Structure 1
Amino acid sequence: MTTRIVVVSAGLSTPSSTRQLADRLTADAVAMLRERGADVEVQVFELRDLAHDITNHLLMGFAPPKLQAALDAVATADGLIAVTPIFTTSYSGLFKSFIDVIDPQALTGLPVLLGATGGTPRHSLAIDYAIRPLFTYLHAVPVTTGVFAATSDWGDGDGVRPLPDRVGRAAGEFAELVARTDRSGLVNDPFALDRPVGHLLGGLAGE
């Protein structure tokens, strides 16, 4: 059976350090999955290429074909690698807008490897105070180690925790989680309720 990994990069420039980080995380994760005997298929989506479609979806309520292909890929993935630049201490607006147009149930039980980029290491905690809660709220399963890459991380690799070490650790956790997660029994039902019926009928308790 093929293990399907979807990569979402929210970088805006070309070339993009966000895409570079996504590529590094993907390469390590794929290598580790293949070491486990997995047949891995990777799909990469640059959100800047989908920016107009995402906006149209938010305004009109339907996804053009290119965006729908990305949404379908995420919904049927065995693992997601999501990387965003950090703007004003949090994820980018484009990144959040893409998450907003994903079906609320599509991420349930999905292993996610989180990455972020920024100019300074002082934003490194954004993964844990902003991005991780977003995916946890949507019932995804982010791995423990997120990877933040500041401008200085793209140098000679010196430091207490060089970028390649952090990438390898996070990719290893992701590969292990993907290998032991079975999402085949999850049904993405667009008519399912995201709250108990009792809550919708006046706040009654529901199981």
Structure 2
Amino acid sequence: MTKNLVVVTAGLSLPSSTRLLADRLTEATRRQVRQEDLDIRVIELRELANQIAQNMVTGFPGPRLRDAIEAVTGADGLIAVTPVFTGSYNGLFKSFFDVIDKEALAGTPVLIAATGGSARHSLMLEHAMRPLFAYLRAIVMPTAVYAASEDWGTGGDSALDSRVDRAAAELAALVEARPLGHASAAEETVVPFAQQLAALSSEE
């Protein structure tokens, strides 16, 4: 019985501390899900930036973006990680979730996390990320994980690991409990644009 864990990371650099945090959370969750086979997929939003921008203006996703959307909306659990830009999530992160149907993540367990240069930006998780996923009716884990620059050093590493393990345990418990075959927007049929135009023409 396989469950799907999808990891969305919005880091822009390569290598990226955002991806590093996403990998830690993914591995910790994989260790915690003991009773299920876990299929893990990582989505790097920087690789989809052009298609996300095109979707914002046309309303239609390109093939790679559509595939990513279907993976996210069909997931049994989601890890969402973004760098902090101007006190909030970055624009690429927000744009990706803007192009997903607002009902598609209802009931999906989500672990939210962020990276930044200073610990003073950690409240972004509560005033920006948590409300975003609450609006999308996802189930947001009580423990959110923020990693500042100092957390990657020797002194802060154990504290970061503790937060990662606690958040992963919360997500793993809900992934294991989620029933198979849950409904998602990924199952809906998308009508091609040409077909929509034809239908409009026939009504005139």
TM-score, length-scaled by structure 2? 0.88
Residue 120 (structure 1) aligns with: 118
1:168 aligns with 2:165: yes
Deviation, structure 1 residue 183: 6.2
**Could you tell me how far apart the structure 1 residues matched to 2:156 and 2:129 are?**
27
**Where in structure 1 are there 5+ consecutive unaligned residues?**
192-207
Structure 1 residues 111 and 183, CA gap change in structure 2 (3 angstroms): farther
1:130 aligns with 2:128: yes
Please, which of 59, 62, 85 is the counterpart of residue 60 of structure 2?
A: 62
Deviation, structure 1 residue 187: 4.8
- Between the two proteins, what is the percent identity of the paired residues? 52
Higher helix residue share = 2
Matches of residues 1-207 of structure 1 in structure 2 within 5 Å? 1-33=1-33, 35=34, 37-158=35-156, 162-182=159-179, 184-188=181-185
Deviations 1:149-168 (A, max 9, x none): 00000001448x71001000
**Could you tell me how far apart the structure 2 residues matched to 1:165 and 1:176 are?**
17
**Could you tell me how far apart the structure 1 residues matched to 2:39 and 2:172 are?**
13
**Could you tell me how far apart the structure 2 residues matched to 1:43 and 1:185 are?**
18
Deviation, structure 1 residue 190: 5.7
- Contact (CA 8 Å) 2:79, 2:112: kept in 1 or not? yes
Deviation, structure 1 residue 181: 2.2
- Contact (CA 8 Å) 1:115, 1:146: kept in 2 or not? yes
Structure 1 residues 88 and 183, CA gap change in structure 2 (3 angstroms): farther
Deviations 1:120-141 (A, max 9, x none): 0000111011100000011000
**Could you tell me how far apart the structure 2 residues matched to 1:134 and 1:38 are?**
29
Superposition RMSD on alpha carbons, in Å?
1.6
In the alignment of these two chains, the number of paired residues is 188
Question: Secondary structure at the residue paired with 1:162?
Answer: helix
Residue 196 (structure 1) aligns with: none
- Contact (CA 8 Å) 2:73, 2:184: kept in 1 or not? no
Which letter does structure 2 place at the counterpart of 1:29? T
**Could you tell me how far apart the structure 2 residues matched to 1:171 and 1:157 are?**
22
Deviation, structure 1 residue 104: 1.4
TM-score, length-scaled by structure 1? 0.87
Deviation, structure 1 residue 184: 2.7
Question: Secondary structure at the residue paired with 2:114?
Answer: strand
- Contact (CA 8 Å) 1:111, 1:178: kept in 2 or not? yes
Which letter does structure 1 place at the counterpart of 2:32? M
**Could you tell me how far apart the structure 1 residues matched to 2:19 and 2:184 are?**
31
